[in-house]
Amino acid sequence: MSALEPTLIRPGDNPDITKERRAATVPVNALAAFIHGGADIVKRRKEIYDAVEAEPALRNNLRLEFLPREQRHEEQARRAVAMTDHATDIIDGSDMFGEGIYYQSLIMGRDLHALSLHYSMVLPAIQNQSDEEQMEEWLELIITRSIVATYAQTELGHGTNLSKLETTATYDPETEEFILHSPTITATKWWPGALGKSSNYAIVMAQLYVKGKHYGPHPFFVQLRHRDTHLPLPGITIGDIGPKLGINGSDNGFLRFNQFRIPRKAMFARNARVEKDGTYVPPKHAKLGFGAMVFVRSIMIKDQATQLAAAVTIATRYAAIRRQGEIVPNGQEVQILDYQTQQYRIFPNIAKTLVFLFAAYEIKDLYLKVTSQLQEGNVSLLPQLHGLSSGLKSIVSWDTAQGIEQCRLACGGHGYSQASGFPDIYSYAVGGCTYEGENIVMLLQVARGLVKLVPGIRSGNPDLTEITAYLGAKPSSKSNFTCAANTSPTDLVAYFEHAAREQLFAAYDFWKANESRYPTSEEAWNKAGIELSKASRLHVKAYLVRNYFNYVSRNTDSKIQGVLLALGKLYALDQLSGAAGAFLRGGFFNDGQISTARHGIYLLLEELRPNAVAIVDSFDISDRELSSVLGRRDGNVYENLLKWAMQSPLNESDISTAYTKHLKPMMVEARSKL
């Protein structure tokens, strides 16, 4: 059942978690409505949940953590087919960002499956990059699931650096075909989800060659397997890459081409095309083909926030029922949520969850706006979207991974068990640090856009957007920070914008100074990479702070405004404290102010403590989604840990084959010699 009033407190619940809920002052329903975008959306989530629970085909009776990989892959395929079979009856198919992600999480858990990229990357790519004839031929195949397709871009030797992909597509005007080829081992496509055993088609990124001239990477829609037999077509070598840190229900695959011919119409032709005679018609804008990647990044940011929400929910609820040690000697063992060190591990990550979630909402709106403009040939906002999505992807995925690990550690030894949910949450989320662009590379891409602005700013002719407008502001010499209680959101935003601006200018100057120290501009850039990455981080964090406070200013319910502002201040002061050097630059902050900021964090932890459980309850994450014994709504952890352990296949028999085959003979032999 959805974790909202009045169903939060029920007979038989752990008394400590019930005490927390009764003592809370923040109304969970109101906070949940704001977090999710309205009471109607919270109600809709409940309807979707109930519909999923009522459908026998969507019940997840098998515990994935106890399954061998092949069986797990099979089970996830079953769930994916059932999920898409019933999707049109349960959700609004046009709302992938909202209802679609939620519906999928209820059924698939923290794993990918045969249709993950089919819908998240292939479908939008066909919608946005194919011409009318291609759209008519391909779109229905994808929507009806007549084929299963994936997105094959990353190679053994290259991932983020698309310009150096090695797979080639050479046009043969005599046959009007492209010849796909993998000229080296490192040209092997590697990592695409569902490529290994599930997909029979793929969008393949390959270097285009026409009449001996190279035109860079372009997408092609390629059949890989026979539609009836599912056997690889001649010239195709394909398979599964093996077990991974996580998402092992997905058959991430490898793919090699050996002079494999495809028709000319297989090249996506909305933005660029090759005519029959080999004439190349370039796109109007170089980055028009980046739409699918940006779409995935926009979804990723919400997905990462959702994973962090699960982690803080588990850690907070468990800390409310776990009693360990004494604060006052000879007293009752205390809830570990009362330790300030425990609060410091968990509460800033609660704040990050909302900061990231609200940023995800904004980037989604920007993506939809840009997509609409692209249909009309307007590319003015595309660089802004690309830079922002790249920076957010990097910061959010890194901070989410670190936050999940802190929550796991906050649960002590039980956090190490699969029963906690943390191993699956972490292994699923941490992949976001590298897929769809490695994080440091993403930061450097953001930096390349930022440094181009500096000369114009300094000359008085800035070319700034809404997101970068702050860079043109007149710098302040000193902050006015006195204490957390008296600091307004406007002041906090100004502090971050100042730090980001000064770091950018310093990184720019360092880079330019390097140009006189090193023989090439590329080496100068490389030697400034750390400072440039710091500039990108602060730029993104300034955006996150500004966006959060702008977003919560729309709230009209005074009963939740105090909690929202406290969480925003906690995020800002925690980030400020963690990057103190950037704020101390030029004496903008002094040591005393940094110390006061840290003390402000401690006061905010104390302020948020009474509502901690209520806040995570407002995330509205059901036990089905959490898949965590430690984070159960009812708080009845210990008895259910034992029940979970009894499901282990090792407990099906009192005597294991390991004992019979190896341990028993060893002991019998040893005893015979006594």
Q: CATH for 289-437?
A: 1.20.140.10
Query: 3-state DSSP call for residue 293?
Result: helix
Mean pLDDT throughout 81-87? 96
pLDDT-derived band at 80 (thresholds 50, 70, 90) equals very high
| 396: amino acid identity, one letter | V
The pLDDT of residue 239 is 98
Mean pLDDT of 331-349: 96
- CA nearest neighbour of 636 among 12, 160, 122: 12
Contact 321, 335 (CB under 8 A): yes
Count the neighbouring beta carbons within 10 Å of the beta carbon of residue 406. 17
pTM, rounded to two decimals:
0.94
Mean pLDDT of 54-62: 90
Residue with tokens 């602005």: 453
Burial label for 506, CB within 10 Å (0-12, 13-18, 19+), is: middle
pLDDT in tens, 577-599: 999 999 999 999 999 999 999 99
Query: Residues 378, 392, 474, CA angle at the centre, nearest 5°?
Result: 80
Higher per-residue confidence, 372 vs 133: 133
pLDDT band, residue 226 (cuts 50/70/90): very high
| Chain segment 233-249, per-residue pLDDT in tens | 999 999 999 999 999 99
Task: Kindly report, residue by residue over 34-43, the tens digit of the pLDDT.
Answer: 999 999 999 9
pLDDT at 431: 93
* Range of lowest pLDDT (46-50, 336-340, 437-441, 567-571): 437-441
* Higher pLDDT among residues 328 and 635, named by residue: 635
Residue 431 among known ligand-binding residues: no
State pLDDT tens for residues 473-483.
Answer: 988 889 999 99
> Residue 287: its pLDDT value, please?
60
- The DSSP annotation for 458-509 comes to HHT-----TTTGGGGSPPPSS-----TTT--HHHHHHHHHHHHHHHHHHHHH
Contact between residue 268 and residue 134 where contact means Cβ atoms under 8 Å apart: yes
- Distance of CA 483 to CAs 287, 584, 595, 598, Å? 45, 16, 10, 10
- Which whole number is the average pLDDT over 495-512? 97
Domain ranges in the chain? 124-283, 289-437
pLDDT (tens digit per residue) in 365-413: 888 888 777 767 777 777 778 888 999 999 999 999 999 999 999 999 9
| Separation between Cα atoms, residue 259 and residue 268, nearest integer Å | 20
Q: Is residue 362 scored above 60 in pLDDT?
A: yes
Q: Judge contact between 247 and 192, C-beta under 8 A.
A: no
Asked whether the predicted pLDDT for residue 425 surpasses 70, the reply is yes
pLDDT in tens, 263-308: 999 999 998 999 999 999 998 766 655 555 666 777 899 999 999 9
Over residues 172-198, mean pLDDT: 97
pLDDT tops 80 at residue 2: no
C-alpha to C-alpha distance for 520 and 528, rounded to whole angstroms: 13
Q: What's the pLDDT tens digit per position in 616-674?
A: 999 999 999 999 999 999 999 999 999 999 999 999 999 999 999 999 999 999 999 99
Structure tokens at 103: 């519906």
Q: Which residue has the tokens 């090695």?
A: 166
Domain 124-283 superfamily per CATH: Butyryl-CoA Dehydrogenase, subunit A, domain 2 (2.40.110.10)
Question: Residues 566, 355: contact at Cβ < 8 Å?
Answer: no
Say if strands 168-172 and 201-210 run parallel, antiparallel, or are unpaired. Answer: parallel
Strand ranges inside 166-283, DSSP E = 168-172, 177-181, 189-190, 201-210, 213-223, 236-240, 253-257, 260-263, 273-274, 280-281
Q: Active site residue: 20, 155, 436, 497, which one?
A: 436
pLDDT for position 97: 82
- When the pLDDT of each residue in the chain is averaged and rounded to a whole number, the result is 94
Ligand-binding site membership of 193 (annotated): yes
Res 1 pLDDT > 60: no
CB 575 within 8 A of CB 545: yes
Distance separating alpha carbons of residues 499 and 443, to the nearest angstrom: 17
- Tokens 């803080």, located at residue: 312
Whether the predicted pLDDT of 3 surpasses 50: no
**436 carries an active-site annotation:** yes
Six-digit token pair at 54? 């009522």
Say what the pLDDT of residue 286 is. 63
**CA pair distance 91, 51, nearest whole angstrom:** 10
Q: Which pLDDT value is given to residue 332? A: 85
User: What is the separation, in whole angstroms, between the first and last Cα of the chain?
Assistant: 61
